[in-house]
Structure 1
Amino acid sequence: MLGDGFIVLSFVAGLGAFLIGHVFYLMGFIRMSRFNKARLAALLPIALYSFFIGRQLITALQTDGNDGLVLPVVSYMLVISLMALTAILTGNLWATVGSILFVISDSILSWNMFVAAIPYSDVLIMTTYYSAQFLIASSLASIGITNRYQEGKSMNM
């Protein structure tokens, strides 16, 4: 919510607020992560996607004389990529889909702002953004249910 408000005043302030929000998501997902090779394999497509989008964004920022935005944008991309990876590592479907939708939303937003216009970007950004927030919040409820199930299961053993 703060990111939405700050981004109207300053892109960097909004980006910083969203970055802090993603750090909180990241920390929560790390605590719930359950590593396995299949989930860890998500690192490769996330890294490739981030590299492709990041390279295009950095080129566009530098071409337009926005060199001062390169470090904040790269930092944000790193954090949101790690947030998506840790969401996948939780094995929670809602967290996984929500984090991927967040990456898509931010990709559309940044591409539209710095690289090229995207038709219907406002609708695409907001539907993926609010869907992402809803699914990530829903993942908390499903995690609580899973934890209660696991506790009950261990008590019955």
Structure 2
Amino acid sequence: MIYCGLILFIAASIVHLAFCALKRNKAADATKVFLMPLLALTSALALAPRLPESRTAFVCTLCALGFGCIGDVLLLSVSEKRFMAGALSFFAGHIFWIVQYVFSPNGTSAYAWGGRMFFFIALICFICYGIVLASTYVLLGKPKGVMGGGVIAYGGILCALNFTAINAVVSGINGKAALFYLAGSILFFISDGVLSYTVFKKDIPYSRFIIMLTYITAQALLAAGCVLPYG
């Protein structure tokens, strides 16, 4: 059953990306809404046999992908209100990804947060994140008001997601699974960066294909990073 869910997810992703590349927007919209539910189904099938041990991962992964699905639907419209609502939905989804890795039995709470290595990594990361957020804000034209605050807040949660992943990799928690989690957090930066540029500045060739390719891969890698420790 797990492989059936995975095959359906991969097939749906390929079809959706093909529509994006061909600029068949209506068909791409119609197939987009199936992606995260299929990934959630695959994750649930993988984690269910390990309940109750995998309970935290099970709940948080399904919630993260559920909010991702809601965000996908909201972003089918380009209106400012729906864009902000979609960003808020993804914001909530990222919180669940972080919570899963921090508080799961194999997660980042399992190692010492107070060591010297942690503070050194934190300092380097926070400096880099500050530069990235400031550069992004300027690149997007210094958006004002709620939109500007939303850009900073959403960028902040992406940084927190990435930092959680870096911390897990350096600390050796969950082995190779943490590398999937880290790769997913990086791809989310790329996907949302391209999306924000097309919304605030101007469109680029094949922007939807690039955004969805990196987004789908990011969600799949984050899910893999949460599922594999229980495999």
What is the TM-score when the length of structure 1 is the normalising length? 0.78
The aligned residue for residue 133 of structure 2 is 50
**2:85 is matched with which residue: 13, 23, 29?**
13
Query: Which segments of 5 or more consecutive residues in structure 2 lack a partner in the other structure?
Result: 1-68, 170-177
The aligned residue for residue 113 of structure 1 is 199
Residue identity over aligned pairs, in percent, reads 28
Structure 2: distance between partners of 1:93 and 1:44: 22
| TM-superposition CA deviations, 1:22-71 (whole Å, max 9, x none) | 11112223332255347534343333222211232252x34xxxx33112
The aligned residue for residue 144 of structure 1 is 230
Structure 1: distance between partners of 2:149 and 2:125: 25
What is the TM-score when the length of structure 2 is the normalising length? 0.55
Are positions 1:3 and 2:75 aligned together?
no
Structure 2: distance between partners of 1:58 and 1:15: 18
User: What amino acid is aligned across from residue 155 of structure 2 in structure 1?
Assistant: M
Is residue 198–residue 207 contact of structure 2 (8 Å, CA) maintained in 1? yes
| TM-superposition CA deviations, 1:99-131 (whole Å, max 9, x none) | 000111000100111023322211110010000
User: What amino acid is aligned across from residue 141 of structure 1 in structure 2?
Assistant: V
More helix by share: 1
Which segments of structure 1 move beyond 3 Å, counting only runs of 4 or more? 34-44
Query: Which segments of 5 or more consecutive residues in structure 1 lack a partner in the other structure?
Result: 146-157
User: What amino acid is aligned across from residue 3 of structure 1 in structure 2?
Assistant: G
Q: CA deviation at 1:19?
A: 0.8
SS, match of residue 8 in structure 1: coil
Are positions 1:90 and 2:176 aligned together?
no
Count of residue pairs the alignment pairs up: 140
| TM-superposition CA deviations, 1:77-110 (whole Å, max 9, x none) | 1111111111221111000000000111000100
SS, match of residue 42 in structure 1: helix
Structure 2: distance between partners of 1:68 and 1:93: 34
Is residue 102–residue 128 contact of structure 1 (8 Å, CA) maintained in 2? yes
Structure 2: distance between partners of 1:68 and 1:89: 31
The aligned residue for residue 54 of structure 2 is none
C-alpha change, 1:74 and 1:142, in structure 2 (3 Å) is same
SS, match of residue 142 in structure 1: helix
Match runs of 1:98-137 below 5 Å: 98-137=184-223
Q: CA deviation at 1:143?
A: 2.5
